[in-house]
Amino acid sequence: MTSSDPTKPLLRALDGEVLPHAPIWLMRQAGRYLPEYRELRASAPSFLDFCYTPQKAAEVTLQPIRRFGFDAAILFSDILVVPDALGQKVSFETGEGPRLDPISGAHDLAGLRDTLDMGRLAPVLETIDRVRTALPAQTAFIGFCGAPWTVATYMIAGRGTPDQAPARLFAYRQPDVFAMLMARLVEVSAHYLIAQLRAGVDVVQIFDSWAGVLPIAEYEKWCVEPIRAIVQKVRADIPGAKIIAFPRGGGAQLLRVADIDGVAGVGLDTSVEPAWAAKALPATITAQGNLDPLALLAGGAALDEGIDRILSAFAGRPHIFNLGHGILPPTPVEHVEHLVKRVRGG
């Protein structure tokens, strides 16, 4: 669990090894662009039910591995199972995204649990167990959680918004309540990642998808420090735990996340210049990314040029190939096949 399995290229890359071909996986690789995903998804009454049904969640985790032979499987679940397990009402409306009963002040926060209802999350840990035993020996297994800031933005707004203004306003207007919410999310997220690692994932990724809307004065406090606190807690419990942080949209601020002791890899979003990142990131940090999901959707020259630019920029340093954000539902499966082949030198 903690020492690198020499047969898994992704773990070797996270240990700082430079491999002949960068290992590859894609954010949202289990998803609607796959016909076999859509078919199984249609059999579940709701997205959350789907996430909490181990047999189905394990199956969709494995689908992209069978089809493309990616170097890692990512647990099929969602970052919003954490608010769900804190007792907040969470649902997913088809075509509209997540809906939560918004937290508008101290009273709403007091109505939530202090700790996760692990009974609610038991199916997730069972999914991990099922996937773990079914994965090929060379395939790494990634668990995840949302970073506290990103999860808080959904808990406060009750939905996705273009700029997460509700959470930013909340943090200014009710700083004490906001700090309490963030402290609770740090605790429970660390606990949740530890549970995932104990259940059998090899690596965990912390998604701070909304780091980029934080005002610069708050970046350290609400992006870097909470992630640092989680990393410390996880590694205090599981020494050597491998952790990737993905602070999306923070630009050069990602270097502050890369500096967190215990972070092995940093996810780069589409706005990051690969040649800059290859030089600016510490040599011990593995860069992960960062093809534009729209280039993958478009295919052709845009795709090939995008792939080659990234491969040449990161040649000679530890790198995991990925997208800069999640794969888009209309992406043709053949483009993904082409991507994997090209990254592997074919």
* Cβ–Cβ under 8 Å, residues 108 and 144: no
User: What distance in Å separates the CA atoms of residue 238 and residue 285, rounded to the nearest whole number?
Assistant: 20
SS3 content of the chain, % helix, strand, coil (to 5): 50, 15, 35
Kindly state the smallest distance separating residue 59's Cβ from ligand CP3, in Å.
Answer: 13
As measured in angstroms, the least distance from the Cβ of 297 to ligand CP3 is 14
Active site residue 12: no
107 conformational bin, left if phi > 0, alpha if psi -120 to 50, beta if neither: alpha
In the complex, what is the shortest distance from the CB of residue 144 to ligand CP3, in angstroms, rounded to a whole number? Answer: 5
How far is C-alpha 180 from the chain's CA centre?
Answer: 24
With respect to ligand CP3, which residue has the nearer C-beta, 31 or 226?
A: 31
Pull the structure tokens for residue 173. 């207007």
Neighbours of 69 (CB within 10 A): 14
> Which of 207, 219, 314, 321 lies at the binding interface for ligand CP3 (CB under 6 A)?
207
Contact status: 141 vs ligand CP3 (CB under 6 A): no
| DSSP code of residue 5 | P
**Which region, judged by CB under 6 A, interacts with ligand CP3, from 25-33, 120-128, 215-223, 305-313?**
25-33
Eight-state DSSP code of residue 328: P
Using CB under 6 A as the binding rule, whether residue 149 contacts ligand CP3 is answered as no
Determine the Cα–Cα distance for residues 212 and 203; give it in Å rounded to an integer.
Answer: 24
Q: Which amino acid is at 163?
A: D
- Taking the least distance from each CB to ligand CP3, the nearer of 13 and 208 is 208
Examine the residue annotation and report whether 154 is marked as an active-site residue of this protein. yes
> Of residues 33, 37, 52, 154, which has the active-site annotation?
154
Task: From the candidates 37, 71, 78, 168, give the one annotated as an active-site residue.
Answer: 78
Q: Which of 28, 184, 235, 248 is catalytic?
A: 28
Residue among 64 and 274 whose Cβ is closer to ligand CP3: 64
Chain contacts with ligand CP3 (rule: CB under 6 A): 27-32, 41, 47, 74, 76-80, 92, 97-98, 144, 146, 160, 207, 209, 326
